[in-house]
Structure 1
Amino acid sequence: MNSVTETDQVWQAAYANQQQLIGAYHEHIHPWYIQGFQRLSLSPHELPDKAALDAALRPFGWEVVLVDGIIHSREFAALIAEQRFPVAANVRTLSQLEHSPAPDAIHDILGHLPFLCSPAYCAYLRNAALAFARCPLDRIELEYFSARKTYGDLTAASASADQIAQAEHEVARLSRMLAGADSLIAQVNRLFLWSIEFGVLQTPEQRIMLSGAAILSSRREVTRVLREQHRYVPYTSAAAQVDINYTEPQSIYFVAPSFDSYQSVLEQVMQPEQVAA
């Protein structure tokens, strides 16, 4: 568990990094994010607690719920339906400033919360959460979620190398089983990740606009996405069949013209016959 002093040091460094990121790449960061970051007016000096986050989000109709690492998509859907956004209670260490091995407060607060100031973004977020709630549960997906949570918990707790290696092996094994799975919940989860976490948009003027929380909460990820434009492919329902790589850079990035495209593709995948299946 981080001491209060280190937690605040991590927050101060992460917040300063985010301000620099916005300054350096504002032409390629979605305006909804920049506006939200400014409107939340979070303190740059200390990690905001639940009360501070709730106060910042209240004008936009949201509050936060502190959670233990990752949560299942069904739990996420229930919280979003109540306009309560899950924020991880754990915080990365200074040595993990650029990348946390598990979901943490820095990612959730700086990556996701600014977008909650945008009604249009929230409309898509709620629709994605509703899609999760409508998906039949899948045994392999549940096992994979459990393995990922175990791996994240172990790495965040600085467990032994053997424990972490075993957990990583189990995640990899189940990931291979899940790869290309056509269960509806697996497809919706991929669309969620390629839009909410790794979202990349392109304006009619061909300008790249970053909108994914996993990208925007890491300078390394921002520079990689902007540098590797040869990896761009159009965002279509094909994204529902492509898994995210959690340990290596993505081999491709799906690029959409707008959030309307995210919604359209989600509706294609959630056709009645698919949900009934």
Structure 2
Amino acid sequence: MTLTVQKVPKHLKKYTAEQHYHTYTPINHAVWRYVMRQNHHTLKDLAHEAYTDGLRASGITIEKIPNVDEMNEALAPFGWGASTIDGFIPGVAFFEFQGNGVLPIATEIRKLENIQYTPAPDIIHEAAGHAPILCNPKYSEYVKMFGEIGKKAIASKEEHDHFDAVRHYSNLLEKGDATEEEIKAAEQNVKEKEVAIKGVSEAEKVGRLYWWTVEYGLIGTVDDPKIYGAGLLSSVAEGSNILSPEVEKRPFDVQEMVNTSFDITKPQPQLFVCESFEQLIEGLKEFAQEMSFMKGGTESLDKAIQSENVATAVFSSGLQVTGIFSDRITDENGDLIYIKTSGPTNLAFDHQELSGHGTDYHSDGFGSPVGKLKDLGKSLENLTDSELEAQGVLVGEETTLEFESGIVVTGTVKDLVRKDGKVVIVSFENCRVTLGDDVLFEPEWGVFDMAVGTDIVSVFAGAADGEAFHSIVESEPMETPALPELTSLEQLFQDVRNVREGHIADPESELERVLDELQVISNDDWLLRIEIFEILVAKKLSCTLLDRVTDELNHVKTLDEEWNTLIERGIKVAKNAPLISE
């Protein structure tokens, strides 16, 4: 069993995927190699030293797409693992992976036509951008802490809907087999869902902080910054652009970052520069103080209700209630006096589900008073057995509990649950719960399990015990895809790789043959011609062939402005970098 399997909680395994390494084509590997050569040789002087030091340590090579199992083993000494995932995953799940010390890596790699940028997660961004710098202890601490905090951020319902729309749209674009009508409809749906988002949720603020640090962060001084953000490290265009005076460099400021939105489709007009990774950690701690999981109370529970997604409310006794919160009652001061969920709910303590209080038992929701008992100077959760008996709370005895809020619970005590010396649940049979003329629970509804606590001290997204709350369905093993038959163009890419790696006795003749066939198959392909150019320059082979491929590249440059840029960059690296970099 690998480290990855051990670290990924069962309820997150539904987001994982097999890499099927053998299905990557020679063109896929060439795309990886081009981007990595550009990044390594163009950004090596712009990136923080932790990035260049971590490239080899993280199990990443420049020459071919990394095997994630090998990365997983290489990252283990640094307290990390790696796990392949299936494209976009919800933010709560993404951060939970990181909080568990697992780097989630998409199995897909961008297509050649998207070589500079893809809106969908891909292995270039996540493996080459994120993994190397995790080998730095302080930065690793920051990312894990961010995972622990980020997974608790509550998003609005509209943001959840927008995420689903973006995921669908990105998948259509990257897979490349959707009709024009399907793409237009998906794009329109994204726009509509985005317009529906009102205000800035704490999940959006977390996303902004993550964007301006982990994705697009700079470190050092405003006048001499270095790159540590994965988005910059996996994009030569944006990475090298940090030197431009058009990109404003601002000092690290948490509040300014969470108040600054971003557009993932455009170069960023400003970037933020931290002084050290320690400053990141302190800034994150400062930000977390304002989140619902630290504040609790009515405002925090309202965020959970508005999200219409699974969340957890924590009573002052430590009892954790997980479900979709649907309603609450407050007193004249706006303080919570009753909370309610709809649908499957479970009760936990210290992130472990309490026996007999799973979603199968609380399948139709859960409700409970919050607050202090009337005329009792001590919180119910802190009462001793003798003090409970004095209040009439004794198993088998009928009793009435009146709260300061006016809520009255009358019934026969069936059971009490204590955890860490505190009363967390009192269960009643034949129970009626009222607030004035309003009936909150009827005897015929069954057992009333009353949560105990004077306040809701924390509210966070997701489940307290995720493995217990989410139904764990063991997926059937998927068939391993057959080794794909190479197209004519893919075979030519493989032939050139064989030459580069020294497997061909007569490289000049082989490269001439490849160029002849390439002229017939694809006279506008630029990437394979760049690879041939690299070999001819590095091995000082035929000047005639070099002139020929140069002429062909010059022709392709005239066909497309983006190709012109890519070719110019490829030629520059070919003249200044070793042919094979490990």
In the superposition, the TM-score normalised over structure 2's length comes to 0.44
Give the structure 2 partner of residue 133 of structure 1: 151
Counterpart in 1 of 2:406? none
Instruction: Indicate yes or no: 2:254 matched with 1:227.
Output: no
Task: Report the counterpart of residue 127 of structure 2 in structure 1.
Answer: 109
- Match of 2:82, SS state, is strand
Unaligned 5+ segments in structure 2 are 1-19, 301-582
Alignment of 1:18-33 (within 5 A): 18-23=39-44, 26=45, 28-33=46-51
Distance in 2 separating the partners of 1:229 and 1:197 = 19
Counterpart in 2 of 1:11? Answer: 32
What amino acid is aligned across from residue 185 of structure 2 in structure 1? Q
- Whole-Å Cα distance in 2 between the matches of residues 134 and 118 of structure 1? 25
Opposite residue 117 of structure 1, the aligned amino acid is: C
Once residues 241 and 220 of structure 1 are traced to their aligned partners in structure 2, the CA distance between those partners, rounded to angstroms, is: 26
Alignment of 1:1-277 (within 5 A): 4-23=25-44, 26=45, 28-158=46-176, 159-178=178-197, 181-203=199-221, 206-228=223-245, 230-236=247-253, 237-271=255-289, 274-275=292-293, 276=296, 277=300
**Distance (whole Å) between structure 1 residues aligned to residue 266 and residue 119 of structure 2:** 12
Percent identical residues: 25
Confirm or deny: 8 A CA contact 1:22 1:34 kept in the other structure: no
Q: Which stretches of structure 1, 4 residues or longer, exceed 6 Å deviation after superposition?
A: none
More displaced stretch, 184-193 vs 72-81: 72-81
Per the alignment, do residues 14 and 272 of structure 1 end up closer, same or farther by CA in structure 2, a change over 3 Å counting?
closer
Show CA shifts across 1:139-161 (max 9, x none): 12211211221121111111233
Question: Cα offset for 1:203?
Answer: 2.8
Shift of 1:273: 6.3
Letter in 1 for 2:236: R
Distance 1:125 1:63 in 2: 13
Distance 2:211 2:43 in 1: 22
Counterpart residue type for residue 166 of structure 1: A
For 1:49-101, what per-residue CA distance to the aligned partner results, in whole angstroms no more than 9, with x for missing partners? 22222232222222211111121121112212321110001111222221123
State whether residues 202 and 291 of structure 2, in contact with CA within 8 Å, keep that contact through their aligned partners in structure 1: no
Question: How many angstroms apart in 2 are the aligned matches of 1:67 and 1:12?
Answer: 22
Instruction: Single out whichever of 54-63 and 68-77 deviates more from structure 2.
Output: 54-63
How far the C-alpha of 1:274 sits from its partner, in A, is 4.5
Map Cα deviations across residues 10-50 of structure 1 (whole Å, 9 max, x no partner). 22222222221244xx1x21111111113235333321222
3-state SS of paired residue (1:85): strand
CA RMSD of aligned residues (A): 2.3
Instruction: Identify the range of structure 1 (216-225 vs 253-262) with the bigger mean alpha-carbon deviation.
Output: 253-262
Instruction: Give the Cα separation in 1 of the matches to 2:59 and 2:87.
Output: 25
Q: Tell me if the contact between 2:43 and 2:239 (Cα under 8 Å) persists in the aligned partners.
A: no
C-alpha displacement at 1:185, in angstroms? Answer: 1.3
Secondary structure of 2:145's counterpart equals helix
Instruction: Indicate the larger mover: 145-154 or 56-65.
Output: 56-65
Instruction: Judging by fraction of residues, say which structure has more strand.
Output: 2
**Distance in 2 (alpha carbons) for counterparts of 1:42 and 1:263:** 27
Bigger relative CO (Cα 8 Å, ≥ 6 apart): 1
Q: Does the aligned pair in 2 maintain the 1:30–1:211 contact within 8 Å?
A: yes
**Inter-partner Cα distance in structure 2 for 1:211 and 1:67:** 23
Q: Secondary structure at the match of 1:129?
A: helix
Higher helix share: 1
2:451 alignment counterpart: none
Task: Note if contact 2:42-2:240 (Cα within 8 Å) is conserved in structure 1.
Answer: no
Larger CA Rg, structure 1 vs 2: 2
Contact in 2 for aligned 1:69/1:152 (Cα 8 Å): no
Query: Which digits, 9 at most, give the CA deviation of each residue in 1:212-236, with x for residues without a partner?
Result: 1011101100122221455223332
SS at match of 2:151: helix
Q: Deviations over 1:171-196 (max 9, x none)?
A: 333334447x3321111111011100
Letter in 2 for 1:210: I
SS at match of 2:226: strand
CA contact (8 A) 1:201 1:210 kept: yes
Bigger mean CA deviation after superposition, 161-170 or 121-130: 161-170
Count of paired positions: 272
- On the 8 A contact 2:249/2:270 being kept in 1, the answer is yes
Native 8 Å contact 2:221 2:273 kept in 1: no
| Contact 1:57/1:63, CA 8 A, preserved across alignment | yes
1:161–1:40: structure 2 CA closer, same or farther, 3 Å change rule?
same
Distance 2:77 2:238 in 1: 31
TM-score, reference length from structure 1: 0.88
